[in-house]
A = this chain, B = another copy of it.
Amino acid sequence: MATTMQDVAERAGVTKQTVSNVITGRVPVRPATAARVRAAIDELAYTPNLVARSLATGTTKTVGLFVPTVASSFYSEVVEEVEDVLERNGYHLLLCTTRLDGERARRQLAGLSSRSVDALLIAGDRDLIDHLPLLAGARFPVVLCAWETEAPDRYPVVTIDYERAGFLAGRHLRELGHRRVAVLASPAHTVRVQGFRRAFAADGLTVADDAVHIAPEPTPEGGFAAASAALAADPGLTAVFATHDVLALGALEAARVLGRSVPDDLSVVGHDDNAEVRLSRPALTTVSIPKRAMARQAVEQLLRAVTASTAPANSLQLLRPELIVRDSTAAAPHRPVTAEA
């Protein structure tokens, strides 16, 4: 049915090994022979069976990528960056989105760990962290990225310095003279919060636990609720740090509703520098995280391990975030300075 290497060989009057040689280029072939083979390939519209090649070579030219979702500007950029690098290197992308469903993630991981990928990149610690032991017997390199919680020692990690991201947000607000601040945080963002706290600790200030308001869902609505709660708990607040831009958007809306003008009455700092946020009024001051650079480093490390057929260097690589000052932050309004307890 499908035309095979053997068909090409017969047509060109050579054996299939010679056809293989002209295709792979591993072994030199006399130009005249090669030309005949190439002609036969064209005439028969022959295209090699990649599966057979994979079985023979033990390599699939496919890299698996796990992400929690693709419907977020963070992960969609990660996916595109990864795919770019793969495409440029002749690799295919097998995508698994785990969707906050650990059981699903486990199933997918199990279904993959038969030699159907040459390497695996796991972005995001949310769903897969408990199932990593499944990879114990894996014969392909694994790299972790976008990891915020403590990463297992076993695998190389390429991630963002989230602690520093929080710190940059905090330092900015502190330098603007803010002393009464709150944090709107997603449950998993403890490291960002910790960095934020460190920035204030330098001045002997403490961001109290009850100044951290958790937004269960990373949505504007969640940010709105958290910001409303924060402002209700401490009307004297002069600034808030949202650990996710989308929460900051909700905070802007809450300020509007409560009649507090941003940035004069309330400064707002976000985190991520997502594209969606370009629209916000006022333009959001935020901590930009180099997600594309992170993704690139991660796949490149993975690919290097594949081609060298060695384990990737077991290191923790932290990409540096950057503060982007726009219009949602300003100096703290003058009023009696009160350090929080």
Interface residues of A (CB under 8 A from B): 1-2, 45, 47-52, 54-55, 60, 62, 69-71, 73, 76-77, 79-80, 83, 87, 90, 92-97, 99, 104, 107-108, 111-116, 137, 139, 220, 249, 253, 275-276, 278-279
Contacts and interface: CB of A to CB of B under 8 A. Distances in A.
A278 B217 CA distance: 15
Given A114-B50, A278-B220, A94 B93 contact: yes
10 contacts: A45-B137, A47-B137, A50-B114, A55-B55, A70-B76, A76-B76, A80-B97, A83-B95, A87-B96, A276-B276
A55 B51 contact: yes
A249 B114 CA distance: 47
**How many copies of this chain does one complex carry?**
2
Nearest to A2: B139
Nearest to A84: B99
A84 B80 CA distance: 20
B49 A51 contact: no
A47 B104 contact: no
A165 B75 CA distance: 30
B83 A279 contact: no
A195 B278 CA distance: 31
Given A92-B116, A93-B95, 20 more contacts: A1-B139, A45-B137, A47-B113, A47-B114, A47-B137, A49-B55, A50-B116, A55-B55, A70-B80, A71-B73, A71-B76, A71-B77, A71-B80, A79-B97, A80-B99, A87-B96, A87-B107, A93-B94, A93-B96, A94-B95
